[in-house]
Amino acid sequence: MFPETTWSLITRLRKTAEHRSALTDLCCRYWRPVYLYVRSAWAKSDADASDLTQAFFLWLLEGEPLKRYAPERGGFRPYLKVLLRRFVGHQEVALKRLKRGGQARIVPIDDVAAVAPARDADPEALFDRAWVQEVVGQAVERVRRHFTNDGRADAFALYERYDLAGGDDGMTYASLAESTGVPVARVKHELSVVREAVRREIRSDLRQLTTDDRELEEEWRALFG
Amino acid sequence: MPSSGDRPPHDSVVGALRGLAEHERQRRDVDLPERYRLGEVIGRGGMAIVHAAHDTQLDRGVAIKIMRDDLSLEGADEARFRREVEATARLRHANVVTVFDAGPDWLVMERVHGESLQERMQREPLAIADAAVLIEHVARGVQAAHDAGIVHRDLKPSNILLDADGTPKVADFGVAHLVGDVTALTQSGMVIGTPRYMAPEQIDTRRCSIGPATDVYALGAILYELLTEQTPHPGDTPLAVFDRIVREEPRPPKSLNDRIATDLQTIVLAALEKDAARRYDDAGALADDLARFRVGEAIVAKPPTPVERLRRTVRKRKGVVAATALGVVALTIALAVLLPKLGESRRTLGLWREVTTLMTQAELDEHRGALERARAGLDRGIAQCRAFLAEDDVADAHYFLGRLLRARGDDAEALAALDRAVERDATLAEARHERGFLLLARYERSLEAVLDRGHARRSAGATPPDVLERRHPAVRVLRRRAIADLSADVRDSNYVREIERRFAAAEVDRLQWRWENAERTHRAILDDDPHYTPSLVALAKLSIDRHDWAGAIGHASAALEQNAGLGEAYLIRARAALESRLRSRTGSIDPDPIRDDLDRAIERLPHNALAYRERGRLRISVADLDGAIADLTNAIERADGDAIAFNARGRAHVEANRPVDAVADFTEAVHISPEFGQAWAQRALVRATQGDTRGAVADARQALEVSPPEAGWNRQMRTLLAMLHAR
């Protein structure tokens, strides 16, 4: 069958070291979305939002919410949003427990402060957008490394100019071919190869984060709007 | 450009997604010319996805609609689609969304930056005057199409887009209805979705043909909703809405909103006349009257005279046999699909028309609780088929007969009819397909008869179906036959709808224990048609298979909301409730609703052994032993070898202090199902009390041998053995 997903690993191994590492992995993937949600929902400063995000994951890790998650009732990401909404009432308690302490940080906090959300942004929309960015951005990065290491940086460069550069609506395969001196047929082929690699990366990533095919397809569709 | 290792900035993610959308399209082989660059998804419907896009040749933004891959059109349909699109593409009107270009499965349109009327309505109600002006403009746009000989046929608020300055633009000419024809039917001929804006003649073709007045009706219905915040014929289910569209006059808008001017009410009601000939001739005439109303001139439409009102009241009482009209829905569309293909066998086609009408009518009767009438209707169809067969022994008529008999709940006769159909024409895939559903039902019943859910309750998990099948090869044979029949290729069928075909494929998945696939397909079917009850019932069964009793109850209840006549759904709901009750050990759930469900199930499925069995088991638990024995006897008579029914009746006999009968029943149970530990254990106990020590010892040993270690009676059996040895 399918390789074990992060999620099924978590449900299988409650309270073991492996469980903890799988959960940490999951937290890493959702860290930015949660942070942005927390920060915009309660208009917190960066430091407070980071603490609250930390507290949220601790609450998630130790409390009941994860045990109550029933994959057949819906995807994990929507469930996480439900939990976030519910977290509002628990935040102070969670924060206190965090301060009382002893807990190691679950995830390192890097450059989150750089992405302060607008004050009036819808936290759920921010959450979803951050998630798309996380999934797509990381997949593109992996493909980039992959192509660079395999000596196919030129193919990725075409992809970068055509897809990633965005903005230029007027660009066609022909105009890209002309400006790079690569034949049109090759442009099309290389683009399709890189896009397929990105698609595969995203889907294998999503498979890790979902429990079944249905949820996978839902998440895949969710990426596109 | 982000350097390696950095997170790419947001717009590169947007670009990557755009590239991926393009890639998906290429993977699917949609032949969109290269001049169009796809952008983000801006809309998603049942039939298509709409992308924002850029026309690089003309350097302008457009919207591109890409049909869903399973709805691509072929042959005559494609030709018709193209003709319509070409005609639509010539339309140039401020109130029509311009079509620039089209291919077999894509359409390039003017990009409208705004919301749909539906979204606008949900946001806040429009002022009365604004609503009238809006519909006046929309009607002008529709008139431009009428002038070009195009009827929209599917006008609704979601098809009317509002530009940034509020100008309405009508979209989807000649597209929606065509795809609608292909997918509009469900199992017995119901149209999908809630047909809120559909004109009576779209439901009952005997009235008159579809034409510009059909669009006038829809415009009237939309205006009615804008003015009153409700549709002219509200109803919770398509069945109810149909019924009202054909039969009932809408409530006068002024009775819902007294600020509406009398003339405006007259205009709306004139557009909503049931008889198309009494409506405005076309959208332009409606627009003209709305314009007259706007500037305060006398309008052309006249309110109905008192005599006319009286005539309508009488007609309403007589009911215009709404059910028959419903049946005609099936005909409208079935005919369009069938006529060209079946030219040579008009007689068979005529019979099929009768059959679909009767089946739809029966479904409606069942929903309303008129079971006798439903049965009488089906019996009439059965008699017609038999009379037909007496003259002309064709496979198709045997097939129709099989469908009617299955709808009637007479599975054995239905199976015989379908066997005869297959015998006469081995290529009649529809007959095998239909037979597959019967075999599936029989398989499920056989599995029930050997599957000891009581056992599963007490052990860690259910006995896997494959293990059960190894012990009961006959069950496996049934399953394989069901799979083979349900896999019959009915893609080109005249009688089987697309949705039924998808349903069968999902059921094959369920039969092969690919539960996730099955669930996904059923959910996809329900996404397309939330009213398709067979999929709701199948989801309920999947929940039962997974021991998700709450889920089963939810799905079964949803099915019953759509059609209160579904005996099978009552049965599933009752069983799930019963299982959760037995499982909870406290047994504190109220037995009355379960009992009600089982009564309804038995009333609707008098041939169904399982319904009797479950009611019998319930009756044991409330100490109604005579009733239980009567039900279980019925169950035993209707099933071929139901070990659980025998075991349950044995228990009832024990409680009623009839040990001899009890031993006889337990003996039957273990004979049918030698691994039935509970039956062995119960027989051991009865025999022990009867002084049959040797028999009791043998039974207790057997019970211990076949039962899983966690079975609840194991300790009891060991104690019994110890006592008997001591004796």
Which residues of B fall within a CB distance of 8 Å from A195? Answer: 19-20, 22-23
CB pairs under 8 A between A and B: 102
* Interface contact A153, partner B, CB < 8 A: no
Token digits of residue B454: 């009581």
Distance from C-alpha of B507 to C-alpha of B418, rounded to nearest angstrom: 19
Query: In which band, very low, low, confident or very high, does the pLDDT at B46 lie, cut at 50, 70 and 90?
Result: low
Which of the pair, B469 or B545, is modelled with greater confidence? Answer: B545
Which class does domain B15-110 fall in?
A: alpha beta
pLDDT for the residue B291: 95
Name the A residues in 94-113 with CB < 8 Å from any B CB: 111
Residue A85 backbone dihedrals phi, psi, to 5 degrees: -60, -40
3-state secondary structure of B35: coil
Per residue in B382-401, pLDDT (tens digit) is: 998 998 888 888 888 899 99
pLDDT for the residue B283: 93
Distance from C-alpha of B613 to C-alpha of B639, rounded to nearest angstrom: 10
Cross-strand bridge partners of residue B53 = B38, B62
Give the percent of chain B with pLDDT over 70.
78
From the number of C-beta atoms within 10 Å of its C-beta (0-12, 13-18, 19+), residue B694 rates as exposed
- Asked whether the predicted pLDDT for residue B690 surpasses 80, the reply is yes
Q: In Å, how far is B162's CA from the nearest CA of chain A? A: 21
Q: In Å, how far is B119's CA from the nearest CA of chain A? A: 17
pLDDT for the residue A88: 64
pLDDT for the residue B504: 92
> What contacts A69, CB < 8 A, 6 or more positions away?
A76, A79
Distance from C-alpha of B453 to C-alpha of B588, rounded to nearest angstrom: 19
Place of tokens 């942004």: A121
* Interface contact B11, partner A, CB < 8 A: yes
Task: Give me the sheet containing B48-55, strands edge to edge.
Answer: B36-44, B48-55, B60-67, B106-110, B99-103
Query: In which band, very low, low, confident or very high, does the pLDDT at A83 lie, cut at 50, 70 and 90?
Result: confident
Arithmetic mean of pLDDT over chain B: 79
How many residues does this entry show for chain B?
A: 727
* Interface contact B7, partner A, CB < 8 A: yes
Q: In Å, how far is B8's CA from the nearest CA of chain A? A: 6
Which of the pair, B189 or A120, is modelled with greater confidence? Answer: A120
Q: CB of B560 within 8 A of CB of B591? A: no
> CA torsion B633→B634→B636→B637, rounded to 10°?
120
Residue B82: what residue type? Answer: R
- Asked whether the predicted pLDDT for residue B344 surpasses 90, the reply is no
Residue B3 backbone dihedrals phi, psi, to 5 degrees: -80, 160
Q: CB of B38 within 8 A of CB of B18? A: yes
Report the residue from B21, B41, B54 with minimal CB separation from A169: B54
Q: Do B26 and A192 touch (CB under 8 A)?
A: yes
Per residue in B159-208, pLDDT (tens digit) is: 899 998 999 999 877 554 443 333 333 222 333 334 677 777 766 544 45
Q: Do B19 and A172 touch (CB under 8 A)?
A: no
Q: Burial code of B146-177, b = ≥16 C-beta within 10 A, e = fewer?
A: beeebbbbbbbbbbbbbbeeeebbbbbbbbbb
Give the start-to-end residue ranges of the domains of chain B.
15-110, 115-315, 324-421
Which of the pair, A138 or B224, is modelled with greater confidence? Answer: B224
Q: Do B44 and A141 touch (CB under 8 A)?
A: no
Q: Do B13 and A224 touch (CB under 8 A)?
A: no
Which of the pair, B719 or B70, is modelled with greater confidence? Answer: B719
pLDDT for the residue A140: 92
- Asked whether the predicted pLDDT for residue B492 surpasses 80, the reply is no
pLDDT for the residue B314: 46
Q: Do B23 and A195 touch (CB under 8 A)?
A: yes
Q: In Å, how far is A164's CA from the nearest CA of chain B? A: 4
Task: Give me the sheet containing B115-116, strands edge to edge.
Answer: B115-116, B160-162, B168-170
Q: Do A191 and B21 touch (CB under 8 A)?
A: no
- Asked whether the predicted pLDDT for residue B374 surpasses 60, the reply is yes
Per residue in B58-101, pLDDT (tens digit) is: 888 899 887 765 445 555 556 666 666 777 777 889 999 988 88
* Interface contact A200, partner B, CB < 8 A: no
Distance from C-alpha of B16 to C-alpha of B705, rounded to nearest angstrom: 63
Residue B375 vs residues B358, B362, B369: alpha-carbon distances, Å = 10, 7, 11
Q: CB of A218 within 8 A of CB of A152? A: no
pLDDT for the residue A116: 53
Q: Do B17 and A136 touch (CB under 8 A)?
A: yes
On the CB side of B676, CA atoms within 13 Å amount to 29
* Interface contact A62, partner B, CB < 8 A: no
Q: In Å, how far is A199's CA from the nearest CA of chain B? A: 7
Report the residue from B41, B546, B548 with minimal CB separation from A224: B41
The CATH H-level (homologous superfamily) assignment of domain B115-315 is Transferase(Phosphotransferase) domain 1 (1.10.510.10)
Distance from C-alpha of B240 to C-alpha of B233, rounded to nearest angstrom: 9
pLDDT for the residue B7: 44
Distance from C-alpha of B34 to C-alpha of B42, rounded to nearest angstrom: 20
Q: CB of B197 within 8 A of CB of B218? A: yes
For the annotated catalytic residues of B, the residue numbers are 154
pLDDT for the residue A71: 67
Distance from C-alpha of B512 to C-alpha of B376, rounded to nearest angstrom: 37
pLDDT for the residue B150: 80
Per residue in B678-687, pLDDT (tens digit) is: 899 999 999 9
Place of tokens 């075999």: B439
Per residue in A188-206, pLDDT (tens digit) is: 888 888 998 999 889 888 8
A222: closest chain B residue by CA:
B41
B65: Cα separation from own chain's centroid: 27
Q: Do B18 and A159 touch (CB under 8 A)?
A: no
Q: Give the range among B104-108, B154-158, B625-629 with minimum mean pLDDT.
A: B104-108
Give the start-to-end residue ranges of the domains of chain A.
6-223
- pTM: predicted TM-score of the whole model, two decimal places: 0.46
- Asked whether the predicted pLDDT for residue B243 surpasses 70, the reply is no
Residue B356: what residue type? Answer: T
